Structure 1
Amino acid sequence: MIFAIFIAAAIVVIFAAIQLNKYGDVISQKSTWSGAMVGTLLIGGATSLPELTTSLTAVYIDNADIAVGNMLGSNVFNVLILMIFDFIYRKQKVFNTVDQSTHVPIAYTGLIMTALLAVSLLWQNTPDLFNVGMEMYLLVAIYIIVMRKAGEPEEEAEEPTSSLTLNQGVTRFIIAALIVFAAGSALAIYGDLIAKETGMNASFVGSFLIAASTSLPELVTVLAAFRIMNYSLAIGSILGSNLFNLQLLVVTDFFYRKDAILNVAAQSNVTVALLGFVMIALTIFALQRISVKRVFTYAIPSSVTVILYFVASYIMF
């Protein structure tokens, strides 16, 4: 029964995430926001909703490792998704075709935030205010500053191609987001039950198994964006989702009233944080490097990222 509900929830999430991408593209066409901004702020936030439910559930059952590991692991899995598609579509040289002005600052922000979390996890005795780690307040401050600057509209809007109006696109986007929230939450909860029956440790379950389940909306969103060749939307949705996940970690820490949550989380979460740092650094390299002619050379960052992920998974398992 648990497996049946899990599969049913996965099917619903796939359908809803496709609609999320579709109506996000309508908003991009009919508003002054670019595809990168729609991906970063709207789709990135909406597809992160299952992670929030999973981590809050972990807080409720007093499992800090699943709560923290889910957020960090989801970010790692998100980058893996992007790099796998980049490798599959390597002949298109995706990272060389998008505008860097939006994506690079967001990527660097994710890099800094992940480094901050890694240091806090290593420290394990960071100062707190109202049982919320000081690093969490820094995450919020950084996010607000960067998003205010990145959210400025572009001077030229994309030529509309959809028959839907902006209001229709926004309304249907919200409906799809609510469906993702409900079905994605069920996916996370029943994924957790399945994982517990296997007897695996909490850090691995949170960082890899549950994180992969809650990242299903991002997977479908990126797939849909690549199929319509809206690469900026795909990259923006992943980078934006990662930043939003870290803000959800702040919310998780707020509800974990015993102590600052990173002071309680196991040291094994440091491995995931460091893996995320390296994978984001490789993404930044792929975005900023000079265009290369050889497909083999272009695919090196994505290939290294995929290998690193599976090596780290094996080590933690």
Structure 2
Amino acid sequence: MQVPATTLVQSLVVFAVCAACVWVAGARLAYLADALADRFKLAKSLVGLLLLSIATSLPEVATTLTAALQQARDLVLNNLFGGIALQTAILAMSDFWARGPITNYPRKANHALEATLLVLLLSIAIIVTNLGQTFVIAGVGVGSVAIAVFYGGAIWLLRRYDDSSDWVPVDLPDPDPLAFPAPTGLKTAGNAALIWQAGAACLAILVFGLLLVVFADRIADQSGLGTGFIGVTLLAGATSLPELTTSIAAVRIGAYTMAISNIFGSNLIMLVLVFPADILFRAGPILQDTSRTVSLALGFGLVVTAIYLIGLIVRRKPRVGDFGMDSVLVLVTFLGSLAAYYFAR
């Protein structure tokens, strides 16, 4: 994406404006997704997993493929894997708007299954990066193919399990929405209008999300911090902004399961994007000879996901104010990851 030259201050201002546009579009998309789920009698967790997670991952998709074409291995992997811990921290921040720990709300084991499958894919990625892609087919590592295959199996299993009722929780909190209402016009809008507005919100997220990526990369050069540190912090934050705004908006209207599935679904997408990036990256398998930052990002992603898996299983957990202990630990771990990225850059 070609944009005019700017100074560091101008880049920061444009970055902030684009972030505001993504915020508005993301919040609107959350309201629309909630209305569409009610209109078509769809499970909120399924809508979060398939609709919201894909829509909010559009900037990651475009950024990843563009960086892969430019043969920028570190930018691709740091952006993808660095975004996993960040997006999970976004879910933790959503506790501020929820009535009690957000992991207390799911009625079924879908989210625990999502977290377990995410742990599986993260573990595979860690193994592959440590092996260094021993087997290669047409320049594509077998590890990247394995991640794509397991991702397909994970989505199939989650979709099949969606209608299951073999997990019966007790002592659940009140599921009623918060006092914060969704836009009133959505209840009376026709199906075509809702779908059209959702498409427009997705397009806005894609366009302004890409501009965020462009200026994040420019800020990395102009500030002298480098693409490694910026890739797992500012760039990952830029591409994760849609997840932040949609998750907060979903929690504020009481769509807790949709918010959780949005984050876990987006993290699964971050991992599977390694496969198309490996196809476009022609300097060898993309998961070969990775930097220490990549391994750290995968490790921290594994830790925060495991914390939330425990939180989903342990229903009666300690609280710190309005926050569940699992969300507090996720936020602390994420802050620790930033320090680790800085020293490993």
Residue 281 of structure 1 aligns to a residue whose secondary structure is helix
* Residue 88 (structure 2) aligns with: 79
1:295 aligns with 2:298: no
Partner residue of 2:56 out of 44, 47, 57: 47
* Residue 117 (structure 2) aligns with: 109
Equivalent pair of 1:203/1:269 in contact (CA under 8 Å): no
- Segment of structure 1 superposing worse, 59-68 or 38-47: 59-68
Pairwise CA distance, 1:116: 1.0
Q: How many percent identity over aligned positions?
A: 24
* Residue 292 (structure 2) aligns with: 267
Per-residue CA deviation, residues 61-117 of structure 1 (Å, 9 max, x unaligned), is 33211100100111111001111222x257523211212322111111111111111
Pairwise CA distance, 1:301: 1.7
The amino acid that maps onto 2:77 is V
Q: Which has the larger radius of gyration?
A: 2
* Residue 142 (structure 1) aligns with: 150
Equivalent pair of 1:26/1:166 in contact (CA under 8 Å): no
Please list every run of 5 or more consecutive structure 2 residues that lacks an aligned counterpart in the other structure. Answer: 1-9, 165-185
Per-residue CA deviation, residues 269-313 of structure 1 (Å, 9 max, x unaligned), is 101100000110001011111324x53497222212111111121
Equivalent pair of 2:220/2:226 in contact (CA under 8 Å): no
Pairwise CA distance, 1:8: 2.2
1:100 aligns with 2:108: yes
Pairwise CA distance, 1:129: 1.7
Change (3 A) 1:12 1:107: same
- Segment of structure 1 superposing worse, 73-82 or 196-205: 196-205
For 1:249 and 1:174, how far apart are their aligned partners in 2? 26
Change (3 A) 1:244 1:101: same
Partner residue of 1:132 out of 140, 154, 158: 140
* Residue 203 (structure 1) aligns with: 228
The amino acid that maps onto 1:233 is M
* Residue 178 (structure 1) aligns with: 203
For 1:95 and 1:57, how far apart are their aligned partners in 2? 36
Equivalent pair of 1:33/1:154 in contact (CA under 8 Å): no
Change (3 A) 1:286 1:202: same
Equivalent pair of 1:121/1:267 in contact (CA under 8 Å): no
Per-residue CA deviation, residues 18-46 of structure 1 (Å, 9 max, x unaligned), is 12111111221112321111011110011
* Residue 242 (structure 2) aligns with: 217
TM-score of the pair, normalised by structure 1: 0.91
For 1:167 and 1:138, how far apart are their aligned partners in 2? 39
Normalized per residue, the structure richer in helix is: 1
Equivalent pair of 1:69/1:269 in contact (CA under 8 Å): yes
* Residue 280 (structure 1) aligns with: 305
Per-residue CA deviation, residues 136-160 of structure 1 (Å, 9 max, x unaligned), is 21222222222223235659xxxxx
Change (3 A) 1:296 1:5: closer
1:229 aligns with 2:229: no
Equivalent pair of 2:71/2:282 in contact (CA under 8 Å): no
Equivalent pair of 2:98/2:251 in contact (CA under 8 Å): no
The amino acid that maps onto 2:270 is N
Equivalent pair of 1:253/1:260 in contact (CA under 8 Å): yes
- Segment of structure 1 superposing worse, 163-172 or 118-127: 163-172
TM-score of the pair, normalised by structure 2: 0.84
Equivalent pair of 1:118/1:273 in contact (CA under 8 Å): yes
Equivalent pair of 2:147/2:271 in contact (CA under 8 Å): yes
Change (3 A) 1:126 1:173: farther
Pairwise CA distance, 1:168: 3.0
* Residue 238 (structure 1) aligns with: 263
